[in-house]
Chain A
Amino acid sequence: MAQQEKKKSRVFDYFCEKEDPYVGGVAWCAGCTLELAARFVPKVLGNDMVLVGCPGCSAPVFYGQNTGAWHRLSYFSCLMTGVASSATGISRYFRRIGKDVTVVCFTGDGCAADVGFQPLSGAAERNEHIIYICYDNEGYMNTGYQRSSTTPLGASTSTTPAGIASKGKPTPAKNMPLIMSLHGAAYVATATLSHLEDFAKKLLKAKEKKNEGFVYIHVFAPCNMGWRMESNSSIQVCRMAVRTNYFPLWEAENGKFRLTQETANPRPIQEFTRPIRKFAHLKEADIDKLQQMVDERYAFIKGLCAIGN
């Protein structure tokens, strides 16, 4: 008994002791990390928030079905083009009437990095009091696994299919979290589902910082269906993304960068790509290119962390 008590971690507390605002049987695929993120965020931030979302894989659950709701959160649904701007309107109105409200945008990378990028960039520059959480499944999953601008180099998607004349996506992913941090936002961080303690800390920090200005959290969130991987492998894939430096965990508070998870001996990128069949067609030379890109990006973040330390 006593031993069990000791084992309790913060993450355990969040998951098992906080009320889950969702009902069971929601319309997400088995093994989907977006579901995990969507369930975890309110557990840490509390149910007393306004969730703002748009079309994407999160939408069917957030919308509910006709008169049936799948969660107990106050929710504002809008278009992919209007998430950060709608959140601005909500946040500004409640600020005007003197009510402290946590406004949380929760969208895919397709919205954040592509069609909804302009309003996101505008809201970040204006330092609106909003928390924007982007779950990055590296593509437009809801419409059938097409490429987005965060799809990595070489990934085979339904609009960049690998074939005799194609090696998958020809350009590397847009470095979204870095771009957002350069807006001068109050707080920017990366997170993933294999490192929940780290994610929780960042969410708590987000709640604190949102009264100062814009917060952006970029969550690496594999999609089993679109990436063509086993439904029980998603957490391991998250972990390997961190351990290979493919997705480094860092935060930037008022422009000051810090790695929150150092990888002593980074693993080769194959250990990340191997279980993911969207990379299955890549030859050694292609993998080398991907490795080179990962190394360069990691060095860049390391360099940013060194500034001012």
Chain B
Amino acid sequence: MKAQKGQVKVITGNATAAYAAMLCRPDVVTSYPITPMSEVAEQLSAFHADGILDAEMVEVEGENSAMNVVAAASISGGRAFTATSSWGLSFMYDAVQQASGFRAPVVMAIANRETPGILAVSGGQQDIVSARDTGWIQIIVEDCQEIFDTIIMAFRLAEDYDIQLPVMVNYDGFYLSYLAQAVEIAAREDVDRFLEPLKQQPQRPRLVPGEPLGAGTHGIEIGFVELRYKHCTAMERATTKLDKIDKEFGELFGRSYGGQIEEYLTGDAEIIVIASGGAAGTARTVVDAKRNEGIKVGLIKIRLFRPFPRKRLVEALRGKKAIGVIDRSVCFGWNCGPMYMELRALSPDIGVVPMLSYIDGMANLDITTPHIERVIDETYAAARGKPYQEVTWIPLEE
């Protein structure tokens, strides 16, 4: 049975995140304000004050505490939500790793922001790139509706008995966080219905007062190795699980996003451009234009960044003649974009073809249509055997 038509509201990405979290009926909510996500905290507090959100609200004194609060509430058996950005994520770094080590299925929204210094109050994905090895599931979304839908899906994924891992839902800070778009807010009953299957699953392990059970105590030696192995295999399972949840979401709400990756005109494409977040939306229009010029280009939007969607990417990229990757952050030590670096690791499976790294959209600079045209043109030329530059910092070459 399809979901009823939701109310359409024109709201910012931040407000959207708060609406989605509220509808998932969290038990414990906490967050510490930071530009550009503060509005999430404010909106959730307003929901609580208005009696719409029935949850324990903890106004913590810093992000480190925010993460510890949600992880512990989650290990106690509750549903917990928080949001942050940039330095906030850095300040909870120890607790972030602990939360995944605990297998605490919390959901955290992140309005992505740069990090090199206090004046870097601007968009970029360096914050989550720095957290890619924390053992969290990381999903990157493109627009406000996708923020809404993905936060709801994130709870299904995080709390799934086979997964039990925390999930970060990432959206472009400054762009999406402050951009108001029309968002269809699903009805409460329909969100309940979508999350209902979690209740049918076996109860996940939890802290029980008075019971001799240790939570957060890890094994040493072989016990430790076993926990790590289980964590890794759960990460692996999250790939296809996301596809499944996304499909199910589509069946109920009529919107789905391709799960791990979204492919656009990839089937017959000769070359592929890869992007994530809001840039994927711009790329889609440029791909349309280039198709009209007769260039067989397709787009892959990476949604799942951790675990990396290896299998799906290999299937989509095998046989393509060149790949251009747009990154909104850098990979220190490799001097290229991080997604590009990950894509390079797939070479043995897809065959050696020209791969071009483009660094763009840092520090609130726009990833414009001419920029993406350039990416496509150069990738196309490389596919035809023209010499190419491996890494291009687009803003520096304009």
**A, B assembled together:** yes
Q: Which of B61, B74, B208, B209 contacts A118 (CB 8 A)?
A: B61
Q: Which of A63, A87, A122 contacts B217 (CB 8 A)?
A: A63
Alpha-carbon distance A76/B98, docked complex (angstroms): 12
Minimal Cβ-Cβ distance residue in B for A49: B209
Minimal Cβ-Cβ distance residue in A for B216: A77
Alpha-carbon distance A72/B212, docked complex (angstroms): 4
Interface positions of B from 40 to 97, Cβ below 8 Å from A? 55-56, 58-62, 64-78, 80, 94-95
Minimal Cβ-Cβ distance residue in B for A52: B72
Q: Which of B60, B64, B214 contacts A75 (CB 8 A)?
A: B214
A77 near B217 (CB under 8 angstroms)? yes
Whether A96 sits at the interface, judged by CB under 8 Å, is yes
B212 near A79 (CB under 8 angstroms)? no
Given contacts A89-B28, A121-B61, contact A50 B221 (CB under 8 A): no
Which chain A residues border B208 with CB–CB below 8 Å? Answer: 74
Given contacts A75-B214, A76-B75, contact A119 B64 (CB under 8 A): yes
Minimal Cβ-Cβ distance residue in B for A65: B220
Whether A101 sits at the interface, judged by CB under 8 Å, is yes
Given contacts A79-B98, A118-B65, contact A96 B72 (CB under 8 A): no
Q: Residues 80-113 of chain A: 1 if any B CB is under 8 Å from the residue's CB, otherwise 0?
A: 0110111111101111110101100000000000
Alpha-carbon distance A65/B218, docked complex (angstroms): 9
A75 near B219 (CB under 8 angstroms)? no
Given contacts A118-B65, A122-B62, contact A64 B214 (CB under 8 A): yes
A92 near B73 (CB under 8 angstroms)? yes
Whether B184 sits at the interface, judged by CB under 8 Å, is no
Identify the interface centre among A21, A71, A81: most chain B CB within 10 Å of its CB: A81
Identify the interface centre among A90, A97, A122, A126: most chain B CB within 10 Å of its CB: A90
B95 near A122 (CB under 8 angstroms)? no
A85 near B213 (CB under 8 angstroms)? no
| Interface residues in chain B, defined as those with a beta carbon under 8 Å from any beta carbon in chain A | 27-28, 55-56, 58-62, 64-78, 80, 94-95, 98, 207-217, 219-221, 223
User: Could you list 8 examples of A-B contacts with CB < 8 Å?
Assistant: A49-B209, A69-B212, A88-B58, A89-B68, A90-B73, A93-B56, A93-B76, A119-B62
Contacts A48-B209, A74-B212, A119-B65 given; 4 further ones with Cβ under 8 A?
Answer: A62-B214, A85-B95, A93-B28, A119-B64
5 closest A-B pairs by beta carbon, nearest first, are A89-B72, A122-B61, A82-B68, A85-B65, A85-B68
